[in-house]
Amino acid sequence: MDKVHVLKTPLYIGSETYPSPYMIPAGTTLYYDGSLSEGTSRYRIYINVKPGLNEESNVDGSIAPISADPVSKDDILEFVKGVRFSAEEVMEILRNGNFSAAERAEIERYLKATREQK
């Protein structure tokens, strides 16, 4: 039986070939697939895709994993510059992430200053 994990907070994802930041949303179910010698673990997720997927054919079948990391203070400050999070999403990340009180305060100051500039 697989170990199943449900994300409490979003995970930042990216790859060397496509470094733009994306998120796996909170509530996504991860299925443990094994641990690697360098200390990372591999998980599977299932995604329902509607017809019209832009995909490559004729690939060699090798696994090309992406990386996923918990959202850091620097990540969230960078994200809010270009990506629009809802207030609820930001609060959920702050509430459930591993942020110190000082980091939370810095993010909240940045968000407040950003709102005042609009």
> What is the reported pTM?
0.57
Question: Which tops the pLDDT comparison, 113 or 40?
Answer: 40
Alpha carbon distance 46, 60 (integer Å): 21
Q: What is the pLDDT of residues 3-51, one digit of tens each?
A: 999 998 888 787 666 666 678 888 999 999 999 898 889 999 998 877 7
Please answer whether residues 78 and 107 qualify as being in contact, where contact means their C-beta atoms are separated by less than 8 angstroms.
no
Q: Which sequence spans correspond to the domains of the chain?
A: 4-117
Please answer whether residues 27 and 92 qualify as being in contact, where contact means their C-beta atoms are separated by less than 8 angstroms.
no
Alpha carbon distance 55, 37 (integer Å): 30
Q: What is the pLDDT of residues 48-84, one digit of tens each?
A: 877 766 666 656 767 777 778 887 878 777 766 666 6
Alpha carbon distance 30, 3 (integer Å): 8
Neighbours of 71 (CB within 10 A): 20
